[in-house]
Structure 1
Amino acid sequence: MTDQGSPSGVASPQRGQSGRISLGFACAWDDPPQPTWSYTPWYLRAALRERADVRDVGLTWARPARTALKVLATHRHEGRWASGWKHHPLTQGLAGRRLRRSAADCDAVLQIGDLARLRTPYLVYQDLSFDLLREERRLRHFPHLNARRLAQLRERQLEIYAEAAGVLAMSEWLAGHLIRVTGLPAERVHVVNPGCNALPESAPTVPERAGPPRLLFVGKDFTSKAGPEVLAAWEILRRESDPRIELTIVGPVAWPLPGPVPDGVRFLGRIPLDQVAALYHQHDLFVMPSHFEGYGIAFVEALAHGIPCVGRDRCAMPEIIRPGDNGGLVSTDDPAELAALIADLLADESVRARTVQQAPEVLAHATWGRAAEEILAVTAKILS
């Protein structure tokens, strides 16, 4: 089902009483809303409110309506019930009508993801596209999407992009993909790195290493974030390098593998953001060679704490991690390659020292205030 609406022409902005831009903020909120999209909309909206007249224009669903839409989209997938209700044609049609009605009085609208075509000038903030989903067959974020529905959603997304005043990409890599593969005009694609949530209160210092080496993994989706490979590499290190080395795993709701949690692994499950922030400075290396990252907020958080990172040489990770400078990148799924890289980084004190030295610059860039100002600069440009 395609959203119907007039092409969004650029109109003269109507400033509110404050003289600031009247910006509609459109997000398909979860319940509760704070964790939506890994907290990105929640903190971005707060930063925008300090700088513009921000008006919520969706999409909070009453629980009875949310339940009905979820039931409508429920199906069996790999022996379990799943619901892709936000991608269901009925949900998208209802959302489009609500957004067009509530956004009419705004100067412009910021959509978190591709939600609908609007008559009001709008920007779309993205960390993913359906062109990417078609390429990344290993992703399990959207098990409800078969090839036919994926193609339909791609066509719908292209229609929304075509009428958007601009598309905001979280990374240079995603921006390049949107231009090269999706075919968006380069002048309508803007890179806006997100802010981060689990940041230190001040710049870190180089700690004196005491006790066994400690590795940290943070990721809700254990498989797509390469958790099994991290665990296998840790086992190699324990067996062949240092039997004392420890691994902390954060993110999955329950232990994601058969059998008990191994000795030497601390599994914390899903924990609040402030507790995640406290973990960074307790570890020597952040290890998450994810199979896909539209940006990589967790890497930036670790670097802001002065912790070197291990990622993968693909997607946006090379934008953040510089091998030999603030961490390293693997190129395969081989746990032996990952274990060797971890051992090299743990043995190189200069990498940790450089990462700590660079942390203040990382911390300054990682704020939601900076992201909000960049978005408002793009908004002002399209409205001028």
Structure 2
Amino acid sequence: MVNRVAFAVPGDLATPTGGYAYDRRIIAELQRMGWQVDVVNLGEGFPRPTWETKAAAKRKLAEVPKGCPIVIDGLAFGVMDEAARELRDRNPLIALVHHPLALETGLKPEEARDLKGTEREALSHVRWVVVTSPSTATMLVDSYDVDADRITAACPGTDRAPAATGSKDGTLRLLSIGAVVPRKGFDILVAALASLKDLRWHLTIAGDRTRDPAAAAALDAAIDEHGLGGRIDVLGALPPDRIEALYAGADIFVLASHFEGYGMAFAEALAHGLPVIGTTGGAIPDTVPPGAGILVEPKDVKALSRALRMLIANPTERKWLANGARTAAQELPTWRDSAKLVAKAIEAAV
């Protein structure tokens, strides 16, 4: 039985995003299961690393003992096609794909084309692929020529949580959690809320503002432009206890992502019994069933605004969806469930 694995991540494993949280929790569970996990830091700047960073990352991977399986996070792996080709016969490679790099919002067509090409090439050199949703698995089979028989869908685990108590002052508390990057659709959310000034609500956005400074500046400008500075708080990245407090005090979870490879924040909202408003982008419909939330097409400001108005103004509907959220949460995997699937994938690769 395999009991040692190298786990390669781009940059700081403590980075406060869903993808890094997935890596941290899987690594921790593998260690609890008796695995020796050697974390390899591939450096900062992925998926657009400097030449020097990319070369250093190749050297670090080459230092992994021969025959030891290597799990490589897709944020880096998708642009490491040369390293994958050189290592394929030396180490069993397992790609961990959160979502295809080419689907990040805001890319120029040529950038998306290049990323798709390098990721497809890199994936051709792996023994196995781990994805975070069945939706992403289908995408890799259909568009990246990956054999369905060597893909494992290991959805993120979700911690069990107490039901949110909600607001007590008559102002509905809306919560949105995600890094401030174009793909999360915060510009769409602000535009949708701009037509709801007649209702009592307050939105809190919590997520890393440093990954895309231009997107953060654009969000601030949009809030000011619509005169919503007193009704929207943008808090930046927060520690887990602060995030937990935000969930506890919320009435509705809303996130207008253009695409999600899974949507961990949606699952966390379900675990807290929050009615959800989201989009149909990527794997979100797999995570949020109809009885737990309202999903609209990505980038549809009017549809999002209608969904928000309906839920803000309708406590009966909120309660019904909250009950559906708690029911759906009972079907979500734990982190141990997810880690067991990853462990099987590593063993299959060897």
Which residue of 275, 290, 299 corresponds with 2:257?
A: 290
Task: Tell me by how many angstroms 1:105 deviates.
Answer: 5.0
Structure with the higher helix share, 1 or 2: 2
Count how many residue pairs are aligned between Structure 1 and Structure 2: 327
2:129 aligned counterpart, secondary structure = strand
- Partner Cα distance (2:119, 2:247) in 1: 37
What letter corresponds to residue 229 of structure 1 in structure 2? I
1:194-343 matches, cutoff 5 A: 194-196=156-158, 199=159, 202-204=161-163, 211-221=170-180, 223-239=182-198, 242=199, 244-251=200-207, 253=209, 256-258=219-221, 259=224, 262-323=229-290, 325-331=291-297, 333-343=299-309
Given residue 257 of structure 1, which amino acid in structure 2 is its aligned partner? D
The answer to whether structure 1 residue 28 and structure 2 residue 6 are counterparts is: no
Aligned residue for 1:125, secondary structure, equals: strand
Between 1:226-235 and 1:362-371, the stretch displaced more is 362-371
- Name the CA shift for 1:157/1:225 in 2 (closer, same or farther; >3 Å): closer
Q: In the alignment, does 2:33 pair up with 1:51?
A: yes
Note the 1:1-384 alignment, pairs <5 A: 21-30=3-12, 33-35=14-16, 37-56=19-38, 58-59=40-41, 87-104=49-66, 106=68, 108-113=69-74, 114=77, 115=80, 116-117=83-84, 118=87, 119-130=90-101, 132-133=102-103, 139-140=105-106, 147=110, 151=113, 153-196=115-158, 199=159, 202-204=161-163, 211-221=170-180, 223-239=182-198, 242=199, 244-251=200-207, 253=209, 256-258=219-221, 259=224, 262-323=229-290, 325-331=291-297, 333-346=299-312, 347=314, 349-356=316-323, 358-359=325-326, 362=329, 365-383=332-350
CA contact (8 A) 1:327 1:345 kept: no
Matched-pair contact (CA < 8 Å) for 1:170–1:191: yes
Aligned CA distance change for structure 1 residues 94 and 208 (closer, same or farther; 3 Å): closer
In 2: Cα distance, 1:60 partner to 1:161 partner: 18
Deviations 1:224-263 (A, max 9, x none): 3121222222222223xx2x22222222536632237522
2: CA distance between counterparts of 1:337 and 1:60? 41
Question: Structure 1 CA distance, aligned partners of 2:194 and 2:346?
Answer: 50
Q: Deviation at 1:297?
A: 0.8
RMSD: 3.0
Deviation string, structure 1 residues 268-293 (Cα, Å, up to 9, x no partner): 23322221121012111111121121
User: How far is the alpha carbon of 1:150 from its aligned partner?
Assistant: 5.5
Q: Distance in 1 between matches of 2:117 and 2:167?
A: 54
Gaps (5+ residues) in structure 2? 210-215
User: Does the 8 Å CA contact 1:290/1:312 hold for their aligned counterparts?
Assistant: yes
**Greater C-alpha radius of gyration:** 1
C-alpha distance in structure 2 between counterparts of 1:280 and 1:378, whole Å:
33
- Check the 8 A contact 2:166/2:251 in 1, yes or no: no
Distance in 1 of aligned mates of 2:53 and 2:167: 54
Which residue in 2 is equivalent to 1:74?
none
Decide whether the 8 Å contact of 2:164 with 2:274 is kept in 1: no
With normalisation by structure 1, the TM-score equals 0.74
Kept in 2: contact 1:205–1:356 (CA 8 A): no
Q: Structure 2: which amino acid aligns with 1:110?
A: V
Which residue identity does 1:111 align to in structure 2? I
User: Which residue identity does 1:249 align to in structure 2?
Assistant: I
CA distance in structure 1 between the partners assigned to 2:201 and 2:238 by the alignment: 23
In 2, are the aligned partners of 1:44 and 1:372 still within 8 Å (CA)? yes
Alignment CA distance shift 1:103-1:304 (3 Å): farther
Deviation at 1:361, TM superposition (A): 5.8
Identical counterparts, % of pairs = 26
1:310-332 CA distance string (max 9 Å, x none) = 11122111111223x11111125
Shift of 1:188: 1.2
